[in-house]
Amino acid sequence: MTISTPDHRHFPSIQAHRLGSSMNHSSLLRIGVNRTGHKEERDFCIKQFAMVYLYRGNATYYRTNEEPVAVSSGDFFLRQPGIIHSVFFHEEICSCWMALPAEVYAFFRTTGLIKTMQSVYTIGMDEELPERFRELAVQLQQVPDSGLTRISLQMQALAYDLLSRAIYGANPISPVIREAIAQISGDPGSREPMSDLAMRLGMSYSAFRQTFKAETGIAPGDYRIRRRMEKAMALLAEGQSLKEVADALAYSDVYAFAAQFKTQLGQTPGTFRKEQAAISL
């Protein structure tokens, strides 16, 4: 149910951040729900990719030499890696936020889900979002290091949910499709037929495909390919060889992997790996 005047008192502040023993600093995970008064964040810049959803209040976002953009309740703005920006919160606010590795931002950019010049998006009021952020924050605080990958994927699924709703006008993600996203994201190298996944979720394949596309703006098979490419980019950025990545994602050989990578992302995996190595120097 959507309410016209959300009561943010039901969502006290919480924040969590974790750096697992197997993760590098760029993979730091952060998420939370904040209640704050008037404040300014001037010349803000981070190395990660962050999203901030304004559940209550108003703000102004701007970058140097660009026109200010108003941010209202029901909008979210992006903190893009390495981009200096300022945000002015004009009143008491309730915001839901998360920060993910920069590779996630690169993937969303490559697939066109994020437009370079756009930082503020509108999805409207959703009273379930603060609780979704809160639940993930609690899980991030409590989960052992072995469970951090699962939480990271759930956070990425939430980011995808917000962006797809803003860009495609898609509906909020239903529990069954959220579960499908989690299963696909958990094993992007799987070659399991989507009809088998649909059956496990208690749906016919045609109904599953139609519902998935209606809610996310993309067919489930294409979504799995996108997540596979995101995983490939992350592994390449870590320095793994093309063969190691191809094996990890269940390609028949390096050539099949390289062909799909170039088709999807417009460059060879070897070129991408060299570029990432140069950035890390």
Over the stretch 56-72, which tens digit does the pLDDT of each residue have?
Answer: 889 999 887 788 999 99
Q: What is the mean pLDDT of the chain?
A: 84
∠ CA(277), CA(43), CA(76), 5° rounding?
85
pLDDT tens-digit series, residues 227-279: 898 788 878 877 889 999 999 999 999 999 999 999 888 889 998 888 777 65
pLDDT above 50 (res 25): no
Res. 23 pLDDT band, cuts 50 70 90: very low
**Which secondary-structure segment (H or E) carries 16?**
strand 14-18
In terms of pLDDT, which residue wins out, 196 or 153?
196
* Whether domain 11-141 has CATH 3.40.190.10: no
pLDDT tens-digit series, residues 119-165: 999 988 887 888 889 989 998 998 888 888 778 888 888 898 898 88
pLDDT for 256 equals: 96
How large is the average pLDDT for residues 83-98?
90
* Superfamily in which the 170-281 domain is placed by CATH: Homeodomain-like (1.10.10.60)
Domain ranges of the chain: 11-141, 170-281
Residue 81 to residue 116: CA distance in whole angstroms: 11
Res. 201 pLDDT band, cuts 50 70 90: very high
**What letter would DSSP give residue 189?**
T
Cα-to-chain-centroid distance, residue 99: 9
pLDDT above 80 (res 47): yes
CA distances in angstroms from 78 to 44, 58, 59, 243, listed in the order given: 12, 15, 13, 34
pLDDT for 171 equals: 65
pLDDT for 218 equals: 82
pLDDT above 80 (res 213): yes
- Summarize the chain as % helix, strand, coil (round to 5): 45, 20, 35
- Is the pTM above the cut of 0.75? no
